[in-house]
Amino acid sequence: MTSGPAYFPKRFTRIDALTRPDHYYLEEGDHCYFLGEYTARKGFSHSATNKLIINFKKPMDRRGRPEWRYKHQSIETAATALYDALAGTNLDAVSFVPVPPSKARPDPLYDDRVAETLRIFSELNRTKLNREVHICEAVVQSCSMEAAHDGSARPNPPELVANYQIDAAHAKLLRTHAFIFDDVLTTGCHYKAMVRRIADCSPSTSCVGLFLARRAPEAVDFAAMF
């Protein structure tokens, strides 16, 4: 049984008082927005968002296999959705800050899918709207960690803060607003750690979280119970 739209959404929804409890670390003052809803353990067929996110997260050790093209297609779909959702927004005072992947840059499994989405998003803005988008990789991962979606023990914000480093050359270019961009909002841990590190290097920059999807609680299918 599928749920949600048959296409990946192209409008942002705000995390509000009803949805915030689904994301443990988020607080009332956090401003976070998402496009689709991802349901864990439900597979590709559950929704268009599930299909996109599963392909988007396809690990780097699958490179070279026939399925690899689906990862690139999902990145392009995500970038287009981000462009459509923000096409009417003034971005002059905004820096887009990608959340770094779980693996550090020297790691062979390093996956820059989030940053690549922003690069394609930027090119769409350049060619279609003739405007520049500022991408600022101000935060990088010091050491590789197990991906949160692969492990049973998820890191907490202080652990992530300790493993996040500021790239000083990029951080000094941060604008008035930082749109922290990631694929899936789960507990809110990565977002909170990013906010903390950005505050350390640029206290005047305000932060907003943008996510391709939020992890939604699995809906109860009463029909299947009887």
Question: Which pLDDT tens digit goes with each residue over 114-146?
Answer: 999 999 999 999 999 999 999 999 999 999 998
Measured from the Cβ of residue 29, the count of other Cβ atoms closer than 10 Å reads 5
Amino acid at residue number 106 = P
CA–CA separation, 180 vs 135, rounded Å?
A: 10
Sequence-ordered list of residues with C-beta below 8 angstroms from that of 172, at least 6 positions apart, any chain: 201
Predicted confidence (pLDDT) at residue 223 exceeds the cutoff of 70: no
Which residues of the chain form beta strands (DSSP E)? 13-14, 32-38, 94-98, 134-135, 139-141, 164-166, 177-185, 206-215
Average pLDDT over residues 175-195: 98
Structure-derived torsion over alpha carbons of residues 62, 66, 70, 71, reported in degrees to the nearest 10: 20
Question: pLDDT class for 67, splitting at 50, 70, 90?
Answer: confident
Which token pair is 79? 């970038």
Task: Tell me how many helices (H) and strands (E) the chain has.
Answer: 6, 8
CA–CA separation, 118 vs 110, rounded Å?
A: 17
CA–CA separation, 135 vs 133, rounded Å?
A: 6
CA–CA separation, 211 vs 194, rounded Å?
A: 14
The pTM assigned to this predicted structure is 0.92
How does 73-98 read in b/e, with b if 16+ C-beta sit within 10 Å?
ebbebbbbbbbebbeeeebeebbbbb
CA–CA separation, 52 vs 8, rounded Å?
A: 8
Average pLDDT over residues 32-44: 93
Question: pLDDT class for 76, splitting at 50, 70, 90?
Answer: very high
CA–CA separation, 102 vs 27, rounded Å?
A: 24
Domain 13-219 has CATH 3.40.630: no
